[in-house]
Chain A
Amino acid sequence: SQQGEEDPQALSIQEGENATMNCSYKTSINNLQWYRQNSGRGLVHLILIRSNEREKHSGRLRVTLDTSKKSSSLLITASRAADTASYFCATNSGGYQKVTFGTGTKLQVIP
């Protein structure tokens, strides 16, 4: 079953605007990751945030984690047309390196 649920399912914004995607999960986690998938391609790891961290930055990406609410958000600032892709959160809860992926948010950035 899917542990993470992304919200919204789809998002369309103008280039230059910020994009925010949310992920909610159900059980305690060791860490949460965000991945990006261009259409018809494999997933690319973006960022990992551990359960004892609250915020992490990587370039134009900002991830927050609220373990009390079992939720995370991914913010992409100053979006570009090349950011158009699907974004997935993935949670790790177990000891054998298994991660559980959410259903994804499809982001379209209009030039």
Chain B
Amino acid sequence: SQTIHQWPATLVQPVGSPLSLECTVEGTSNPNLYWYRQAAGRGLQLLFYSVGIGQISSEVPQNLSASRPQDRQFILSSKKLLLSDSGFYLCAWSVSSKTDTQYFGPGTRLTVL
């Protein structure tokens, strides 16, 4: 069966510090991968999605970036965090076919102070 992992679960970082959040998927090949951010009590905002290694599409301009160094690894990064980067970050995957169901990881709670 497929599983998706995210780490860390929680993170507290000072403004201006770098960020690296990791997501890995097991049990499937060539998945579509997604990074979302969820502000407190709000819906999900799609940040990045990837349909293959090295293929990253950005949905919103921001100081975050994403990379996909391996087929089942998706990394969210920042060189300098802003206060507004605080939120709940969710990674998800879907089968690269007509099936649109997305499967979510447990999320990372990021607080920027």
Which A residues have a C-beta under 8 Å from some C-beta of B? 2, 30-31, 33, 35, 40-45, 48, 88, 90, 92, 96-104, 106
Contacts and interface: CB of A to CB of B under 8 A. Distances in A.
A67 to B, nearest CB: 16
Given A40-B88, A99-B100, 4 more contacts: A35-B104, A45-B103, A98-B49, A104-B43
Contacts of A90: 102
Contacts of B103: 45
Contacts of A102: 43
B94 interface: yes
Is chain B's binding surface mostly helix, strand, loop or mixed? strand
Contacts of A97: 32, 49, 51, 94, 96, 100
Is chain A's binding surface mostly helix, strand, loop or mixed? strand
Interface of B: 32, 34, 36, 41-44, 46, 49, 51, 57, 88, 90, 92, 94, 96, 100-107, 109
Contact of B100 (A31, A101, A104): A31
Given A33-B101, A45-B101, A98 B106 contact: no
A92 B43 contact: no
B107 A99 contact: no
Contact of B107 (A42, A101, A104): A42
A88 B101 contact: no
Contacts of B51: 96-97
